Chains A and B, each alone.
Chain A
Amino acid sequence: GAGVSQSPSNKVTEKGKDVELRCDPISGHTALYWYRQSLGQGLEFLIYFQGNSAPDKSGLPSDRFSAERTGGSVSTLTIQRTQQEDSAVYLCASSLSGAINYGYTFGSGTRLTVV
């Protein structure tokens, strides 16, 4: 596609449920990132995938969060046993390579609300 596609655009879930957020990067982009944007705050790095290398998971806030990237393309961010503090906009980005020279292209995000 022309841009980074994220689904769903909005998700409301009950506390304690698991959720899956999907990211479809720009075709040919080898690097993929997940960020979290909480209300009134900047973006917080979660995880980075680059080609076949081991992902950088250093930003995941707890073991309830996990992500995978299948076939070097689509990525899924999973949050288990959701809590109210998980409510945020989850943004995915991709870039031509892991070198920051290429800049990120962000998707429009998934707004997650935990009730």
Chain B
Amino acid sequence: GENVEQHPSTLSVQEGDSAVIKCTYSDSASNYFPWYKQELGKGPQLIIDIRSNVGEKKDQRIAVTLNKTAKHFSLHITETQPEDSAVYFCAASRPPDDYKLSFGAGTTVTVRA
């Protein structure tokens, strides 16, 4: 099955700086790559996703890049704010079972004021 590795496991950044989280996947057939944010005591929330026919996608301060050749994708958060502190998960899925997500182990991001 698909194996998704995520780095780093923890990340501390100064408010206003950028944060980058990287994930690699093993199955070249994977074609959907979402990112979820989980705040304490809550379920994960989808923040951005990218499909294999796109190399980059942006939504305000958040961007995701995908390198299909290298089988890795990254989340970039610019101008970090205290409310960005959370656990972030990357995931991947492949057809025909694209409803079934394989998740990375998560990155705990702390934004220092």
Contact = CB atoms under 8 A, between A and B. Distances in A.
Contacts of A105: 46
B93 A100 contact: yes
A99 B42 contact: no
Interface stretch (A14-22, A39-47, A60-68, A77-85): A39-47
B97 interface: yes
Q: How large, as a class, is the contact surface on chain B?
A: 20 to 34
Contacts of A48: 99-100
A31 B44 contact: no
Contacts of B36: 106
A42 B103 contact: yes
Q: How large, as a class, is the contact surface on chain A?
A: 20 to 34
Contacts of A56: 97, 99-100
Nearest to A98: B99
Contact of B43 (A45, A59, A103, A107): A107
B32 A100 contact: yes
Contacts of B91: 42-43
B22 to A, nearest CB: 15
A45 B100 CA distance: 7
Nearest to A33: B99
Given A33-B99, A56-B100, A103 B4 contact: no
B99 A103 contact: no
Contacts of B101: 43, 45, 100, 104
Interface of B: 4, 6, 32, 34, 36, 41-46, 49, 89, 91, 93, 97-106
8 contacts: A42-B6, A45-B102, A48-B100, A91-B43, A95-B99, A100-B99, A103-B49, A106-B44
